[in-house]
Amino acid sequence: MAKVKGAITVNVERCKGCNLCVNSCPTKTLALQPNEVNDRGYHYAFMANPDNCIGCCSCAWVCPDACIEVYRVKV
């Protein structure tokens, strides 16, 4: 049986850096970009620890702007 790993994409331009996805992630995969901001001036979410992602979709469910898409990838 193939191992399944999670991956996410964040729509950087729509993200307002509310930090809800970072707090909801059970594996501490996400973080807010500390040095860069998007066009609207917000620090946006990104995958700080991509190997930890299990594809649980917790981040996508709590995102108020629907900026996050979650994928499950066979390894």
Chain segment 34-48, per-residue pLDDT in tens: 999 999 999 999 999
Per-residue confidence (pLDDT) for residue 75, from 0 to 100: 82
Please determine, looking at this structure, whether the domain spanning 4-74 carries the CATH number 3.30.1330.10: no
Judged by DSSP in three states, 54 sits in coil
* pTM of this prediction exceeds 0.85: yes
Q: CA dist 52 to 17, 21, 70, Å?
A: 21, 15, 13
pLDDT of residue 10: 97
pLDDT tens across 42-71, in order? 999 999 999 999 999 999 999 999 999 999
